[in-house]
Chains A and B, each alone.
Chain A
Amino acid sequence: MSSWLELLTDNFDALASGFWVTLRLVVASFAVAIVVGTLVAGLRIAPSKWLQRLGGVYVETFRNIPLLVLLIISHAGLRRAGVPIGPWTAGVASLGLYTAAYVAEVLRSGVFAVSRGQIDAALSLGFDQLQALRRIVLPQAFRTVIAPLGSITIAMIKNSAIVGAVLAINDILKEGRLIASRTFETDAAFFWAAVGYLLLTGAATVAFRQLESRYAIRR
């Protein structure tokens, strides 16, 4: 065990920088996922059949394609096609767009969880469609989606490891592998990398549980 601690102190800078890279990757992709996910959810509840179908195609495509394939398409594939895309752009875009499909589905079902009667009531009180959406539906929808958004975020933290493995991005897992191949201490290097991931997923679990206990409503 003492050699494990030594490995941590000797390689702390590398592990910390990997942790930091994973955190940045996750935060940036989360932002993309929320923005795109909201837009796609908007398409899926739009009054036009064609817009709904477009949103549906987005969700079914990005939800069912493996992230690894998406990463190869968006980096190596686009570069071979002559688009000079960098690893960060490709990584954040892939992880963000992939996660956005799940965000869109959750937001949509959150909107549908608000009962139709409330919308009818709002309309009969003289609200127009958008007002009813903004004032009545969305505030409640937001509260019901906290828990599922939490598990999406945790899944995204875990999926960020795939980004580092395919692209030239030195995240926790990559740093752990580099340390393992340099020191031959595979168990210790992977142990500390695991601690990094469990810290991130643990922090996300606690944060979303807090949000939930403060805001969530269960029906």
Chain B
Amino acid sequence: MGYLFDPDNWEWLVTANNLEFLLEGFLVNIEIALIALVCSLIGGLALALARLSRNPALRLVAGAWVDVWRNLPVLFVILYLALAMPTSWREAYENAAPGFLPDVLQTGRVFAALLALVLYNSAVLAEIMRAGIQSLDRGQSEAAAALGLSYWQRMRIVILPQGLRRMLPATVSQLITLNKDTTLVYIIGIQEVARHGRILTGYNFFGGVQAPLLQVFIVIGLMFVVTNLALSRLSRHLEIRERERTGTEVEPVMGLEDQVATVER
């Protein structure tokens, strides 16, 4: 305890630009999470629609795909792709990566990490979306069909707006998991917050360190706790506002995100 709160061990926080260096790394994590989230939402919706399609072969393939990626550790997929991804894919990514991204995110290695996060999270989100769509009364889709709406019109106007509203809480808790999972790219050597923390606490030429490891990683942990708490607060706020706006109790989809924290009621 004495060690933990010793002011000498916290001096690094205000020394030079150490804190700025950590925050710079943390920004990379946030960016990775956001890019992966957007791609996973698109991929997840496609997979969910495939699982609900009328074509049994498509249903089967999509179901097997989702089950495999959902049940493998995401770190496993990251490490595999980092080792096994063809060089041509990396080069293609490096050439195609938009210039506004920071340099760290333009390397081919990041593509392996992003692809792994998207494969995993799109499978999880697909299950959440499927449940959200299926939780709607069948009559809604039938009524829309009876009114002459095509499949895509039914999805866009009737089914998705309601289904997606029900999956908001589960999606936010998956986003929190995704945010935490971005630290895993540390293991394949991407310059994000945990790597920056390791640099700060690495032994230098004289055998000394710039900053104590325990304290640095407690600060890194706090960055995630604060961000993720804010995310869950925001989600609860949106849920309540939505309830007030529509005047109806929306029954959210639960139990399909990666880490469940509530019981179905």
How does the 8 Å CB contact mask read for A170-205 relative to B, with 1 for contact and 0 for none?
Answer: 000100010010000011001001100110011001
Question: Chain B: which residue is nearest A171 at the CB level?
Answer: B73
User: Among A7-15, A45-53, A127-135, A151-159, which stretch is in contact with chain B?
Assistant: A151-159
Tell me, rounded to whole Å, the shortest Cβ–Cβ distance linking A91 to chain B: 14
Q: Please, which residue of chain B has its CB at the minimum distance from the CB of A193?
A: B76
- Per-residue CB contact flags for chain B residues 222-237 toward chain A (1 = under 8 Å, else 0) read 0011001100000000
B43 within 8 A of A: no
Q: Are A65 and B259 in contact (CB under 8 A)?
A: no
Are A155 and B258 in contact (CB-based, < 8 A)? yes
CB-CB nearest in chain B for A190: B80
Interface SS majority for chain B: helix
Chain A residue at minimum C-beta to C-beta distance from B3 = A81
Does B263 sit within 8 A of A, measured CB to CB?
yes
In the bound complex, residues from chain A placing their C-beta under 8 Å from that of B261 are 63, 102, 105-106, 109, 148
Q: What is the minimal beta-carbon distance from A173 to any residue of chain B, in angstroms?
A: 6
A61-B218 Cα distance, complex, nearest whole Å: 11
Segment touching A, from B12-20, B155-163, B183-191: B183-191
Residue of A nearest to B68 (CB): A198
- Flag if B74 contacts A145 (CB, 8 Å): no
**Which residues of A in the span 20-73 have a Cβ within 8 Å of any Cβ on B?**
60-61, 63-70, 72-73
Does A218 lie at the interface of the complex (its beta carbon under 8 Å from any beta carbon of B)? yes
CB pair B184–A148 under 8 Å, yes or no, is no
Interface residue A82 (Cβ < 8 Å from any Cβ of B): yes
Q: Does A165 contact B (CB under 8 A)?
A: yes
Assess the B260–A152 pair: CB atoms within 8 A. Answer: yes
| Cβ-closest chain A residue relative to B80 | A190
Instruction: Report if A197-B73 is in contact (Cβ < 8 Å); known contacts: A68-B183, A68-B194, A77-B214.
Output: yes
- Chain A residues with CB under 8 Å of B194's CB are 66, 68-69, 72
Q: A154 contacts B228, CB within 8 Å?
A: no
Given contacts A66-B180, A69-B217, A148-B262, contact A158 B68 (CB under 8 A): no
B81 to chain A: closest residue by CB: A190
A-B contact count (CB 8 A): 144
Q: Is B255 an interface residue (CB 8 A)?
A: yes
Contact B84 A148 (CB under 8 A): no
- Contact with B73, one of A60, A65, A113, A162 (Cβ below 8 angstroms): A162
The answer to whether B71 touches A173, judged by C-beta atoms less than 8 angstroms apart, is no
Tell which of A76, A113, A154 touches B263, judged by Cβ atoms closer than 8 Å: A113
- Whether B217 contacts A73 by the Cβ 8 Å rule is yes
A116 close to B (CB within 8 Å): no
B259 touches A187 (CB 8 A): no
Q: Judge whether A69 and B213 touch: CB under 8 Å.
A: no
Complex CA gap A113/B73 in Å reads: 31
- Could you show 15 A-B contacts with beta carbons less than 8 Å apart? A63-B259, A66-B182, A68-B186, A69-B183, A70-B221, A73-B218, A76-B213, A81-B212, A106-B263, A109-B262, A148-B261, A151-B258, A162-B75, A194-B76, A197-B71
Q: Which 5 A-B pairs have the closest CB atoms?
A: A77-B214, A161-B73, A64-B228, A105-B261, A66-B180
